[in-house]
Amino acid sequence: MRNRDLTPSEKSQATFEPRIVAFFCNWCTYLAADLAGTSRMKYAPNVRVIRVMCSGRVDPQFVLDAFAHGADGVFIGGCHPGDCHYQEGNYKTLRRFHLLKRVLQQMGIEDERCRLEWISAAEAERVRSTINDMVEKVRALGPLDLIPTEEKVSAEEVAV
Amino acid sequence: MPEIPSSAIESSRERPRIGVYVCHCGTNIAGIVDVRAIVEFAAKLPGVVVSRDYKYMCSDPGQALIQQDIAEHHLNRVIVASCSPLLHEATFRRVLSRAGLNAFLLQMVNIREHVSWVHLNQREATEKTKDLVRAAVRRVSLHKPLQKRRVSINPHVLVVGGGIAGIHAALTLAEAGKQVYLVEREPTIGGHMAKFDKTFPTLDCAACILTPKMTAVGSHPRIHLWTYSEVVRVEGYVGNYKVKVRRKPRYVIEDLCLGCQECVTACVYKEAKNPDEFNLGLSKRKPVYLPFPQAVPQKVVIDPQTCIQFKSGKCKKTCVEACGDRKAIDFTQKETIEDIEVGTIILATGFKTFDPVRNPYYGYGRYANVYTSLEVERLINASGPTAGEIVLRDGGQPKAVGIIHCVGSRDANTNRWCSKVCCMYSLKLAHLIKERTGAEVYNFYIDMRTPGKGYEEFYDRLLDEGVHFVRGRVAEVSDWATHPSEKGRLVIRVEDTLAAFVRRIPVDMVVLSVGMEPQPDAQDVRRLFNISCSTEGWFLERHPKLAPVSTFTEGVYIAGACQGPKDIPDSVAQAGAAAAEAMALIDAQFVELEPYTAFISEDQCSGCKTCIPLCPYQAISYMEEKKKAAINEVLCKGCGTCVAGCPSGSIQQNFFEDEEIFEEIEGVLAYA
């Protein structure tokens, strides 16, 4: 790579650091992320975690708001099916997630940019590997270019 | 419920005056995150009046610093960027309360577990911290004063598991005047300890110290002992649990059985034919039996799998005849479900020993004279199948015995953890075997681990007694003789890592020092009581050091080996600790719950009823006359699922309001 000139898109790819917003439930995934810390596991610094009591609290609007404000990816972490601290909040999350995915698809937001994972309090390793994997995948996709679209369209219209 | 003073509400509506406090945590945070840069960054954020760093924010001077600033600078919001909120949120909330601020005007930023401990690059870690601090500053401006909810505590306690931990916890609580329900799955209490002969390092007999406690449990007026029973359902919350217990039929009416065992003698089976579970199959029992002579309760049990009456219905029922007027035997007994209400729960469900069939190279199950350590405990036990005589399966006495340590422990192929007790019990078995048979005893160990009061001294004693110690993990146990002295014996092949060569040691008996594992149904039990497990499957404590017997579910405590491998003294200590934790709650008479409940703004509610089926606690009802939904705050547990599901946005969750979370999202993303 270093030996040849980079094209402009490759250049932005090389310096691009994805911004990922995560919503972790208080009882499983947030604890797993704490455990990753106490176990001194190392992972990519691109994720910003927002704590909610249950993944069921994650309103699809939160995900859309994150994308609208410049997130390149959104990661929702909840307890495994059957393990929800509130009995079944994670099933509700899953139901909403399927619908949300279709909306995101119609908006042209790639599948890998929004992820739902079940990670128990013991699975620190999965926090590490999921974050690293997601950062790599989103990095490969490049920045989510949502905001300037309006400007681009109007510019094109003017050109016509 | 106490009202929030109107002055508190007023002050929270004033323009935010925020104090930001960044903790170094020694070098834990400051070693990676540029703390000074964060302080300077935070100082420029809108609403921030004070921004400081300190070496240990949670220490007394750290807390005093915040308290002083609140008074001096009239702060009405506080941010602490330090460790996980799960560790010190309560600490810093108390600081706010002491300073006269509502505790919920605090926001924690987790920059230790989520930043400094998981990232290596200072610039990246510092940037991430800035984003998180910015989000917290934006969020905290919207925080409202909240009040914790008070609920009363039912003083009754449920203890699950009747091993030494459960027994000790139950007795401690009952002695303190609490009503205790002790539920045990087996027909008798006693657990693993009842199977042991002697205990290390004092070599006092396990039965002599355990059976008096068992009897005390059985006769205690405040302990409801339910053996042969299992918890099947748990509902409710701290202080107010509703529990269903299934009592399996023992086909003997407990209140009428005197434990005379005349029925056992009279059973149509003259000879006992069925493997005795208590003796791990080393002896036989009849279909009607007393689990072991010191069983508590002293009540027989009938095994329907092997009893002729259950199999064919054509038994002469000599047992019923022998029981006579006492009429304790009842073949029609059905399982019953008992409903109880308790305020706190202690789980002491214990462990299982590793099944060495999983290590086929040690020949367990293939060679008759390869035993597990637990089987040898029974052989050595004076009330065991051989009345304490150590004999081989053919009745002969062993001349040489090999004890293999770390079977199913410290092994990448099976369990990675150290089971903690095996070195010591192997030493104990070595001593007892040598004492009773005069055999040559070889210990094959990886490391000798004897941390504990009097443990190392016991090891020294064994070295003096002439027990052999070979350092090395045994490769294989076989009956493949290469020399006449090995004929008909078991050969242990091991690399002696101190002498640096491979040895073949012929022995007559092999003892596998099996490690401890979580119970096979630990995952089901965990779900039942809504607690978590560690990666290995042990019940997870709230904090490994500061809350070792608490769980993430309030009012549920853990004690003994269900939390991780431990010996008898540690199990008893934990049981005492769990009992004390339960008592602390009971004696306080009430507990404060987080105020994270959901509430409905009636003006906006369209009465669509979407939220009603979303609530797993039936906390939402529909008011017919108003055509609106209503949330019962007492039943709401604060998950927020209905909030996310409300199409009109008329449900909000305290401390997790939509606007607060939107600010947090936009805050982490508002980088320049």
In B, minimum Cα distance to A35 occurs at B113
Q: Which residues of A touch B637 (CB under 8 A)?
A: 86
Distance CA B29, CA B537 (A): 31
Cβ B639–A89 below 8 Å, yes or no? yes
Tell me which chain A residues have a C-beta less than 8 angstroms from the C-beta of B638.
53
Q: Does A119 touch chain B (CB under 8 A)?
A: no
Which residues, in sequence order, are CB contacts of B239 under 8 Å at separation 6+? B151, B152, B153, B154, B343, B344, B555, B585, B590, B591
- Label residue A152 exposed, middle or buried (CB < 10 Å: 0-12, 13-18, 19+): exposed
pTM of the model: 0.87
Q: Does B614 touch chain A (CB under 8 A)?
A: yes
**Cβ pair B651, B615 in contact under 8 A:** no
Residue in chain A lying closest to B84 (CA): A34
| Per-residue pLDDT tens over the stretch B481-515 | 999 999 999 999 999 999 999 999 999 999 999 99
**Partner-chain contact A87 B616, CB within 8 Å:** yes
Chain B residue whose CA is closest to A125: B535
Length of chain A: 160
Closest by Cβ to B120, choosing from A42, A49, A52: A42
Task: Say if B124 is an interface residue toward chain A (CB within 8 Å).
Answer: yes
**pLDDT tens sequence across B45-59:** 999 999 999 999 999
Q: Do domains B150-248+335-350+523-589 and B353-517 have the same CATH topology?
A: yes
- Is A34's Cβ below 8 Å from some Cβ in B? yes
* Residue of B118, B125, B656 lying closest to A37 (CB–CB): B118
Place of tokens 């050109």: A159
To probe the interface with A, which of B234, B669, B671 has the most A CB atoms within 10 Å? Answer: B669
Q: CB–CB of A37 and B661 under 8 A? A: no
Q: How far is B645 from chain A (nearest CA, A)?
A: 7
Pairing of strands B509-514, B400-407: parallel
The residue behind tokens 């090891």 is B459
Radius of gyration of chain B (CA): 31
Question: Given pLDDT bands bounded at 50, 70 and 90, which one contains residue B175?
Answer: very high
Q: Which chain A residues have a beta carbon less than 8 Å from that of B85?
A: 51
pLDDT at A9 over 70: no
Q: What confidence score (pLDDT) does residue B574 get?
A: 98
| 3-class SS letters over B384-413 | CCCCCCCCCCCCCCCCEEEEEEEECCCCCC
Which of B644, B666, B670 shows the shortest C-beta gap to A59?
Answer: B644
The distance of Cα B590 from the centroid of its chain, to the nearest Å, equals: 24
Shortest CA gap B426–chain A (Å): 31
Please list every residue in chain A whose beta carbon sits closer than 8 Å to the beta carbon of residue B533.
120-122
Beta carbons within 8 Å of A102's beta carbon, 6+ residues apart? none
Q: Nearest chain A Cα to B127, which residue?
A: A45
Tell me: the pLDDT tens digits for B323-381?
999 999 999 999 999 999 999 999 999 999 999 999 999 999 999 999 999 999 999 99
Share the mean pLDDT of chain B: 95
Q: State whether A65 and B662 contact (CB < 8 Å).
A: yes
DSSP line for B312-363:
TS----HHHHHHGGG--B-TT---EEEEEEESEEEE---EEE--GGGSGGG-
| Residues within 8 A of A (CB atoms), B 622-651 only | 637-641, 643-645
Looking at domain B150-248+335-350+523-589, its CATH superfamily turns out to be: FAD/NAD(P)-binding domain (3.50.50.60)
pLDDT band at B11 (very low <50, low <70, confident <90, very high): low
pLDDT at A3: 41
* pLDDT > 90: percent of chain B: 93
Q: Do B658 and A59 touch (CB under 8 A)?
A: yes
Measured CA distances, B185 to B159, B189, B517, B558, B591 (Å):
12, 9, 18, 17, 31
List, for residues B387-440, the tens digit of each pLDDT value: 999 999 998 999 999 999 999 999 999 999 999 999 999 999 999 999 999 999
Measure in Å the smallest separation between the Cα of A3 and chain B Cα atoms: 26
Closest-CA distance, B169 to chain A, in angstroms, reads 26
Four-way CATH pick for B598-653: 3.40.50.300, 3.30.70.20, 1.10.730.10, 1.10.10.60: 3.30.70.20
Is residue B44 scored above 90 in pLDDT? yes
Q: How confident is the model at residue A2 (pLDDT cuts 50, 70, 90)?
A: very low
Domain layout of chain B by residue ranges: 6-148, 150-248+335-350+523-589, 262-326, 353-517, 598-653
B114 touches chain A (CB under 8 A): yes
B208 touches chain A (CB under 8 A): no
pLDDT band at B298 (very low <50, low <70, confident <90, very high): very high
- Contacting residues of A for B540, CB less than 8 Å apart: 121-122
Could you tell me the domains of chain A?
18-156 (3.40.50)
* A118 to chain B, closest Cα gap in Å: 14
Whether B468 and chain A come into contact, CB under 8 Å, resolves to: no
With a cut of 50, say whether residue A33 has pLDDT above it.
Answer: yes
Kindly indicate the confidence band of residue B462, based on its pLDDT and cuts at 50, 70 and 90.
Answer: very high
At the top level of CATH, the class of B6-148 is alpha beta
CB contact under 8 A, A27 and B552: yes
Q: What is the pLDDT of residue B5?
A: 72
Residue A157 has pLDDT above 70, yes or no: no
CA-to-CA distance for B256 and B9, rounded, in angstroms? 64
Tally C-beta pairs within 8 A across A and B.
144
Q: Which residue has the tokens 């921030």?
A: B48
Q: Does B357 touch chain A (CB under 8 A)?
A: no
Helix (H), strand (E) at residue A150: helix A149-159
Report the pLDDT value the prediction gives residue B535, as an integer from 0 to 100: 86
Distance CA B30, CA B33 (A): 5
A121 in contact with B, Cβ within 8 Å? yes
Interface of B with A in 133-162 (CB under 8 A): 135
For residue A1, what pLDDT is reported?
A: 38
Minimal Cα distance from B667: which residue of A? A69
Best of B29, B86, B118 to mutate (most A CBs within 10 Å, chain A) = B118
Note the pLDDT tens digit of each residue in B209-244: 999 999 999 999 999 999 999 999 999 899 999 999
Q: Does A80 touch chain B (CB under 8 A)?
A: no
Q: DSSP character for B114? A: I
Quickly state the pLDDT bin for A146 (edges 50, 70, 90).
Answer: confident
Chain A hits for B535, CB-CB cut-off 8 Å, are 122-125
pLDDT at A147: 57
**Complex ipTM, two decimals?**
0.89
- B667 and B145 in contact (C-beta within 8 Å)? no
Q: Which of B122, B597, B641, B666 to mutate to test the interface with A (most CBs of A within 10 A)?
A: B641
Closest partner residue to B534 (CB to CB) among A30, A59, A122 is A122
Nearest CB among A37, A65, A83 relative to B114 is that of A37
Q: CATH for B353-517, among 3.40.720.10, 3.50.50.60, 3.30.460.10, 3.30.70.100?
A: 3.50.50.60
pLDDT confidence bin for A140, thresholds 50/70/90: very high
Q: What is the pLDDT, as a whole number, of residue B633?
A: 87
Is residue B621 within 8 A of residue B636, CB to CB? The reply is no
The widest CA-to-CA distance across chain B, in whole angstroms, is 96
Mean pLDDT score, B46-74 = 97
| 3-state SS, residue B522 | helix
User: How large is the average pLDDT for residues B564-573?
Assistant: 97
In this prediction, what percent of chain B has a pLDDT beyond 70?
Answer: 99
Contact with chain B for residue A31, Cβ under 8 A: yes
For residue A10, what pLDDT is reported?
56
Whether chain A has a CB inside 8 Å of the CB on B233: the answer is no
pLDDT at A8 over 60: no
Residues of B in contact with A87 (CB under 8 A): 616-617
Say whether residue B593 is in contact with chain A using an 8 A CB cutoff. no
Average pLDDT over residues B656-667: 97
Contact: B84, A37; criterion CB under 8 Å: yes
A127/chain B closest Cα distance in angstroms: 11
Distance between B110 CA and the closest CA of chain A, angstroms: 9
Residue A148 has pLDDT above 90, yes or no: no
